[in-house]
Amino acid sequence: MKESSDAALAQPRPAAQRTGMRVWLNPGLWIAILVVLIAAAVPFITRNASTREVLFLMLMYVVLASSLNIIMGYTGYVSFGHVVFFGFGGYTGLYLMSAHSSSLWVAMAAGGLISGLLAFLIGKAILRLRGAYFALATIGINEAMRAFVANFTPYGAATGISLNFAVYQDYGGAATALWLAYGLVAGLALVSILLSFMIKTSKFGLSLQVIREDEDAAEVMGVTTPNAKTWAYVISAIIPGMVGALYFFKNGNIEPAEAFRLNASIETIVMVMLGGQGTVLGPVLGAAGYQRLRGFLITYPLFKDIQLSVAGALLLIIILFIPGGVVGWLRNRIPPLRRLLI
């Protein structure tokens, strides 16, 4: 966190006020957008369905990591159970599609909305906790939600919800629906990057970063910390809720263990750490890099069986030796980059 506090000091006023429109020319933002655009375009050019599936997951994790970064990287509250918003959004979406024949659009909107609402209610309660207690509470909420949904009959209890194949007819058949889902996840990835950037360069973002550095000082400086934290939490939950609905629409079914997978949550944290928490570009690079690495390990015979161990060993090395992640490391080593890689 050292280099981020340096960066905060170097910006006496929010960047947006200081430079007007020029802030939009930041190369860090455009690298992130470029990464997403290239990833989005590749399957459309090659028309290769398996590449599309791999990149769908990558773009999905770009969404999840960028969103998590708002509460974790900017505000300093590490949500260990962030997957709860993804899972609950997915469940809400699939429930609406299967029981009320809603369209995908309604399902995604509802997934985002309900996740935001959930975050508001949870946040009001648990954002009073600090440090490891907050992390434990988010784990508890995810597990409680998973266990509850596994008993909740409208959501299919332990077996979950399966979409009727006819649902896809409205989107030009199953094959076309998968391409549509892919386009949408790329769009959501772009939206989450832009959102992350807009927050980082706003006055609101600055108050979040002050909370991260010293919450008591932030309070003294006139930041209404409970409100700021709650809104950061809500914003970080909405797009994961939408992407949850989209992902499980693509899969056609949802079940509790898959929707509220705690390890997915921790992997998202790893991605944010890998790229560099508290930066716009970091989570995008982290998500892309981690997914590429996993793809490589799974296909490489020597590592196929122990891919989890290799990933774990790499994670350990990064935490021990490059705690700021790739972007944080670059910013530390090459000071001019601090302005360029936001």
Partner 1 sequence: MEFNLVKLLPFLIDGLLIGFVYGIAAMGMTLIWGVMKVINLAHGAIISLGSFGVYLLFVSALQLHPYISILLVAAGGLVFGMLTYFIAIHRVINAPYLSTLLATFAVNMIIIGLGTAQFSTTPRAVDFTLGSFRVGGMTLLGTRLFAAGAAVAVTAALYLFLFRTNPGKYIRAVANNRAAAELMGIPSSRILALSFGLGTMLAAISGGLIATFFPFTILSGATYQLKSFVIGVLGGLGNPLGALLGGLILGALEGIIPAYMNTSWVPVVEFVMFVLILLLMPRGLLGAKK
Residue whose entry in the numeric block shows the structure tokens 């809104």: 231
Q: Which of 17, 48, 159, 309 binds partner 1 (CB under 8 A)?
A: 309
List the one residue from 45, 166, 220, 320 that touches partner 1 (CB under 8 A): 320
- Distance (Å, whole) CA 12 – CA 9: 6
> Which one of 144, 175, 217, 334 is in contact with partner 1 (CB under 8 A)?
144
* φ, ψ dihedrals at 161, nearest 5°: -120, 135
Task: Closer to partner 1 by CB, 145 or 185: give it.
Answer: 145
> Comparing C-alpha atoms, which of 83, 80, 67, 120 is closest to residue 229?
120
CB closer to partner 1, 99 vs 319: 319
Q: Of 173, 299, 305, 334, which lies in the binding site for partner 1, with binding defined by CB under 8 A?
A: 305
> Which CB atom, from 102 or from 265, has the smaller least distance to partner 1?
265
CB atoms within 10 A of CB 215: 18
232 in contact with partner 1 (CB under 8 A): no
Binding of partner 1 by 323 (CB under 8 A): yes
Query: How close are the terminal C-alpha atoms of the chain, in Å?
Result: 15
Q: CA–CA separation, 80 vs 264, rounded Å?
A: 10
Letters for 163-192 (x = contact with partner 1 by CB under 8 A, - = none) are ------------------------------
CA–CA gap between residue 57 and residue 187 (Å, rounded) = 14
Residues 6+ apart with CB under 8 A from 57: 291
Q: Residue 323 half-sphere exposure, CB side, CA atoms within 13 Å?
A: 5
Part in contact with partner 1 (CB under 8 A); list of ranges 36-44, 102-110, 132-140, 167-175: 132-140
Closest C-alpha to 3, from 317, 316, 339: 339
Residue 122 CB, nearest distance to partner 1 (Å)?
9
Nearer Cβ to partner 1 (34/316): 316
Q: Is 78 in the site for partner 1 (CB under 8 A)?
A: yes
Q: Assess contact for 82 and 236: CB atoms under 8 A.
A: yes
Assess contact for 196 and 280: CB atoms under 8 A: yes
User: Helices 27-46 and 281-299 meet at what angle, rounded to 10?
Assistant: 40
CA angle, 216 then 221 then 225, to 5° = 55
Smallest gap, in angstroms, from Cβ of residue 300 to partner 1?
14
Q: What are 333's two structure tokens?
A: 């080593």
Return the residue of 143, 213, 219, 258 that touches partner 1, per CB under 8 A: 143
- One of 151, 159, 164, 299 touching partner 1 (CB under 8 A): 151
Closer residue to partner 1, CB minimum distance, 80 or 249: 80
State how far the Cα of 76 lies from the Cα of 226, in Å rounded to an integer: 13
Tell me which of 8, 139, 293, 322 binds partner 1, using CB under 8 A: 139
| Binding status of residue 148 toward partner 1 by CB under 8 A | yes
Of 141, 185, 245, 341, the residue at the interface with partner 1 (CB under 8 A) is 141
Site for partner 1, rule CB under 8 A: 1, 78, 80, 125-126, 128-129, 131-133, 135-137, 139-141, 143-144, 146-148, 150-151, 158, 262, 266, 269-270, 273, 305-313, 315-316, 319-320, 323
